[in-house]
Amino acid sequence: MPRFLTLDDVDVKGKTVLVRVDFNSPVDPETKKILDDTRIKAHGKTTLKELSEKGAKVVILAHQGRPGDPDFIPLDQHAKRLSEILGKPVRYVDDLYGEEAKRAIRELKEGELILLKNTRSYPDERKSKNPEEHARSEFVRELASLADLFVFDAFSAAHRSHASVVGFIAALPSVAGRIMERELRALSRVLESPEKPCIFILGGAKADDSLKISRHVLNNGIADYVLTGGVTGHLFLAATGVDLGKPNMELLEKQKVLDLIPGIKELMARHPGKIRVPVDVAINIEGRRKEISIRDLPTEYSILDIGAKTIKEYCEIIRKAKSIVVSGPPGVYERKEFSKGTKEIFEAVAESEAFSLVGGGHTVAAVQELGLGDKVSYISIAGGALIEFLTGSKLPAVAALEKAAEKKSV
Ligand code: 3PG
């Protein structure tokens, strides 16, 4: 577990506290309405509620989307939703660090909250600079001059070396918020001396990330087995020398992942028997599911799921596990005929007594859709940051908070 200060180490009553949360949510491209409020709820019910109840003057910083993208929208809806969650007003201020924002901050009373304009409206927000460089920006200087404390709670944005992510940590006494703590505690439980056997179930479309994660968890003795499915399963299967057939090989080519095969081979040779690939698959014959053994490959049809034998083999490993990480569904679960692999594997994870951690947008959506949300031990609200963490990278915000704690600047 990284070492940094938390809300337990500070007295916030009457203090002006800047809080960086991650409210970035899926948005309907047509109506521009937020489609899911998981992150708003998570921060609202923990860190923001606590700060407000303890009498802090709470100034919330958050981003939504990327400039130019359809989900780059103002944060007024987020403020409204947060206010419903907290049961008290949260004023949206359509300014980030100009006169309007500064006046709103000065006028705050104990326990009150405001949400400032999308941090990505500041043109240099996403420039990757180190904390000290960002701390010198006008944005950070102006807001920091009005605040007593910075609380970083946006674990899911902690992999970005952005101004509002790392800049304030270099400029103000800084601590981690409750979501940051919670995510890191859960992740540390599976990455630092996990209870064994420890398995990683890697599916979904991002085969390149799966390779990086596999490399980290196998080379460092974290995982006992890596079970592959989805496009990850395709690629790892191809690395064993299996020709998957035209549509499937074309998919891998389109995703530009075929050149990862030598690296996968090397990893498999280094850890014999530890990386499991499907032994059978489900192909899509005009909407119909047909299961075939990998001995019957290549196929002219698309592979959309793992087959029954693979499911059985994986479930046996899952049943014996004491720690499980799931990132990416094993099949195209959105299509009923091809949801079997995802359903049965995720049910086995939910039934197991292991500490189970699931993360990533599609994985979490599948877990919720299957009604298994309450049965897994921990659901991470992070996407890219989770992947980075699982690959063993030091996240810039974590590094900055650790440095701040060393200086004991609170
Ligand atoms: C996320 O949703 O993963 C974070 O908010 C980071 O967003 P980004 O990938 O646009 O930086």
Q: Which residues contact 183 (CB under 8 A, 6 or more apart)?
A: 155, 156, 380, 381, 382, 386
- Global pTM value: 0.94
CATH class for the region spanning 196-353: alpha beta
d(CA 307, CA 246): 19
Round to whole Å and give the CA distance between 308 and 39: 35
Residue with the nearest Cα to atom 7 of ligand 1?
157
pLDDT of 408 reads 64
- Through-space distance between the first and last CA atoms of the chain, rounded to whole angstroms: 20
In this structure, what token pair is assigned to residue 380? 């991470």
Residue nearest to atom 4 of ligand 1 (CA): 157
By the 8 A CB rule, do 257 and 306 touch?
A: no
The domain locations on the chain are 7-180+394-407, 196-353
Predicted local distance difference test score (pLDDT) of residue 153: 98
Residue 410 has a pLDDT of 53
Residue that the structure tokens 């927000």 belong to:
125
The CA-based dihedral angle spanning residues 378, 41, 43, 56, taken in that order and rounded to the nearest 10 degrees = -140
Whether ligand 1 lies within 6 angstroms of the CB of 24 is answered as: yes
In CATH, which superfamily holds the domain spanning 7-180+394-407? Phosphoglycerate kinase, N-terminal domain (3.40.50.1260)
CA distance 236 to 264: 7
Of the candidates 6, 184, 40, the one whose C-alpha atom is nearest the C-alpha of residue 115 is 40
Q: Is 361 in the pocket of ligand 1 (CB under 6 A)?
A: no
Amino acid at 132: E
Distances (CA, A) of 188 to 210, 251, 325, 372, 383: 19, 34, 12, 23, 16
**Does the beta carbon of 22 sit less than 6 angstroms from any atom of ligand 1?**
yes
Q: Positive or negative, the Cα torsion across 131, 178, 119, 409?
A: negative
Identify the pLDDT of residue 361.
85
Q: Pairing relation of β-strands 280-285 and 90-92? A: unpaired
Give pLDDT, residue 98: 98
Average pLDDT per 10 consecutive residues for the chain, totaling 410 residues: 91 98 96 95 98 98 97 98 98 98 98 98 96 97 98 98 98 97 96 96 96 98 98 98 98 97 98 98 98 98 98 98 97 96 98 96 92 96 96 96 80
Do the first three CATH levels of 7-180+394-407 and 196-353 match, i.e. the same topology?
yes
Looking up tokens 């990850």, which residue turns up? Answer: 232
384 lines ligand 1 (CB under 6 A): yes
| Ligand 1 pocket check for 395: Cβ under 6 Å | no
For position 102, what pLDDT does the model report?
A: 98
Using CB atoms within 10 A of its CB, is residue 300 exposed (0-12), middle (13-18) or buried (19+)?
A: exposed
Ligand 1 atom closest to the CA of 126, numbered from 1: 11
